[in-house]
Structure 1
Amino acid sequence: MGDKHVVRFEPVDLEMEVDEDETVLNAAFRQGIALMHGCKEGQCAACKSFLLDGDVQMDRYSTFALAEYESDEGYILLCKSHAYSDLTVELMNYDEEELRNAVPLQHLRTRVAAIEPVTRDIVSLRLDLVEPDKFTFKPGQYADIAIPGHDAHRSFSMATLPGDPLEFLIKKYPGGHFSGLLDGGLEVGDELELDGPYGTFTLKKASDRPILCIGGGAGLAPILSLLRHVVADGIDRPVRFYYGARTHEDLFYLDQIEELGAELPDFKFVGVLSESWPDDWEHTGFVTEVVQRLEPGLAGADAYLCGPPPMVDAAIDLLETAGVPREHIHYDKFTTSVAE
């Protein structure tokens, strides 16, 4: 263990302890503080903050997440920052409702219950808990699943509710570190270890604004979890769900979406196809284009975005242009990791 220091966060008047050997973000996880974060790997910029005072050194990160000029100005990524003195940090993105209300991190042993393809490149992975027998998380959050035989992990969102059997929806990529195991590398009965929960892609209970969900690919998972939460808690806010896919064959779990929608007083699902579609398909093109055309009142919504980074970036641009405050835009970007 290294020397310990104190980190003070502004403008939320919050302090915590950090060890030099851990990142600021990991120290927050350890102490139940829900700092804004995404990939935890220095690729997405969700944890970008401004260093007001103190000495920080950062592990390697992507300049797409933090440009060189931003680093020179004093911006840091909390997921890559090690404190070598007491720090004062200005949070650029934060949610006061979530900040002091984190779910403690848990380490779990699980056993593979089923591996089933749901489209040509998305697989449903279902896990049974071995130890402990309970996993506490907030709908919309994700977990890190350890890659058997390696020190690495991959992050996947839970598609279910706490207390229900765990399900993850995983997109397969050629050479994917974890997804490559889903074609025979993993079998029913194999054990997997996971850590979580992570993420702030959670329903903001204090809000009464309409809910707008925009998803693509395996980004359906956390949105399904959110929708199940809305139904289970009897939340009566209007919900609009736009899902972008390439072809009709890439749409899946439509029956589950329909069943959930039938339980809500004001729900609409729109499937958008971008590459090929039946002659009678109504909504085609990019999903953000359809959202822009059909949703004139975007500024008053809480938006939840999950899917490929280009889709999420386009949706953020659309929403900000429409006047949606950044604090009302919640998103997860899915990044890939392939074997070298």
Structure 2
Amino acid sequence: MGDQHLVRFEPVDLEIEVPESKTILQAAFDQGIMLMHGCKEGQCAACKSYLLEGEPDEVEHDRYSTFALPDFERDEGYILLCRAHAYEDLTIELLNYDEEVIKSGIPIQDATVEVVSKEKVTRDLCNLVLRLVDPPALRFFPGQYVDFKIPGTDTFRSFSMANTPAGESGLLEFVIKIYPDGYFSQILENQVAVGDRLEINGPYGMFTLRDNPGADLLFLGGGAGMAPMLSLLRSMTENDIKRPVRFYYGARTKDDLCFEDELHEFESTLADFRYIPALSDAGDDSDWDGATGMITDVLRRDETSLDGTDVYICGPPPMVEAALEILPSLGANEKRIFFDKFTTTGESESS
């Protein structure tokens, strides 16, 4: 038996060579094939697929959650691409895929970066700017993310870029939530300093702007979900994309809002943009005259019909899950809802 095997994907008529040492998903990334994925850790089931040809016992899985792939499903031939290694030629049916994105991927790169600046923009959000050292540039699509290697470990955390590929050469910008007991969070807050070097790899992620010129856009974010939203909005400005955009952003208090000046500037730099921040705990903010309540409740109050609207959601899991429940009742097409669901330490501390 060789150490590489041919894996064919249906119904997209695509095939790749997969080394036994790599997962099927990683091998696809290496070849610029952007298969559907989420956590990359066998937790979310976004990459769940079905084995059409090949024996289940010739597919070995790294550790994964049985919530993502129950034993009975594995026995029936379902696999998780992010955990699966091929030990023979296979034909796999992709259950989740986006034909617009699948062949437009960028091969994954390892990179060394240097910290340029680190600034708190709210009590628990850190704006981190890095300079690429080797290689000096990294291709990515607005809305994507990279994995950070935690110094001294083989563990990674995922964070979305807030800048655009056309931004200042060699710089990457992030908005990272600082968790009190987050492993990487505490290293970032207490140990990482300007001039330090870190290791990253990427880009990953499917949270990219789809080409649909006639459709309005609705962005819904919270917490560090600000990062990919900024990347998308900045890219729209740079590329003179004139689609109408409404951006709902949820925060707890007024002090938890950030990038306010730039967001209001988009109202003049974009053709049709409206920013709607909402506070879930306005408290004594007597000068606050904006929306109050959970951001999903504000969305439900404001929007009467999302038919024909592309919806992008990014933020904490409870917010994403609440949004996914109410959006169909507002007329949103489930096939035109795109989301990133961030997780905390104990899962993958993505932001």
Match of 1:200 among 198, 206, 231: 206
Alignment of 1:294-313 (within 5 A): 294-313=302-321
Q: Matched residues in 2 for 1:20 and 1:199: separation?
A: 24
Q: Matched residues in 1 for 2:316 and 2:17: separation?
A: 35
Q: 2:260 maps to what in 1? A: 254
**Bigger shift: residues 276-285 or 76-85:** 276-285
Alignment of 1:13-162 (within 5 A): 13-54=13-54, 55=56, 56-162=59-165
Q: Matched residues in 2 for 1:69 and 1:273: separation?
A: 44
Match of 2:187 among 181, 193, 218: 181
* 8 Å CA contact retained: 1:174, 1:338: no
**Superposition deviation, residue 48 in structure 1:** 1.8
**Structure 2 residue 266 is matched with structure 1 residue 293:** no
Match of 1:263 among 269, 281, 306: 269
3-state SS of 1:79 partner: coil
User: Judging changes above 3 Å, is the alpha-carbon distance between structure 1 residues 12 and 324 closer, same or farther for their aligned structure 2 residues?
Assistant: farther
3-state SS of 1:299 partner: coil
3-state SS of 1:183 partner: helix
Q: 2:227 maps to what in 1? A: 221
* 8 Å CA contact retained: 1:177, 1:338: no
1:115-143 deviation per Cα after TM superposition (whole angstroms, max 9, x unaligned): 11111111111111212221111110000
Matched letter for residue 312 of structure 1: V
**Superposition deviation, residue 72 in structure 1:** 4.2
**Superposition deviation, residue 322 in structure 1:** 3.6
1:188-244 deviation per Cα after TM superposition (whole angstroms, max 9, x unaligned): 100011111111111112443111111110010000000001111001101010111
Q: Matched residues in 2 for 1:320 and 1:2: separation?
A: 48
User: Judging changes above 3 Å, is the alpha-carbon distance between structure 1 residues 290 and 74 closer, same or farther for their aligned structure 2 residues?
Assistant: farther
RMSD: 1.9
Matched letter for residue 209 of structure 1: A
3-state SS of 2:237 partner: helix
User: Judging changes above 3 Å, is the alpha-carbon distance between structure 1 residues 20 and 245 closer, same or farther for their aligned structure 2 residues?
Assistant: same
Q: Matched residues in 1 for 2:157 and 2:39: separation?
A: 10
Match of 1:335 among 343, 346, 349: 343
**Bigger shift: residues 25-34 or 202-211:** 202-211
Matched letter for residue 152 of structure 1: T
3-state SS of 2:164 partner: coil
**Superposition deviation, residue 73 in structure 1:** 3.9
1:46-86 deviation per Cα after TM superposition (whole angstroms, max 9, x unaligned): 21222223232222222333344443443322111112222
Q: Matched residues in 2 for 1:73 and 1:155: separation?
A: 32
Q: Matched residues in 2 for 1:47 and 1:103: separation?
A: 18
* 8 Å CA contact retained: 2:266, 2:273: no
* 8 Å CA contact retained: 1:302, 1:329: yes
**Bigger shift: residues 58-67 or 115-124:** 58-67
TM-score (norm 2): 0.91
3-state SS of 2:63 partner: coil
Q: 2:326 maps to what in 1? A: 318
| Poorly superposed stretches of 4+, deviation over 4 Å | none
Which stretches in structure 1 are left out of the alignment for 5+ residues?
none
Q: Matched residues in 2 for 1:208 and 1:39: separation?
A: 31
**Bigger shift: residues 34-43 or 315-324:** 315-324
* 8 Å CA contact retained: 2:178, 2:189: no
TM-score (norm 1): 0.94
User: Judging changes above 3 Å, is the alpha-carbon distance between structure 1 residues 102 and 272 closer, same or farther for their aligned structure 2 residues?
Assistant: same
Q: Percent identity?
A: 55
User: Judging changes above 3 Å, is the alpha-carbon distance between structure 1 residues 66 and 301 closer, same or farther for their aligned structure 2 residues?
Assistant: farther
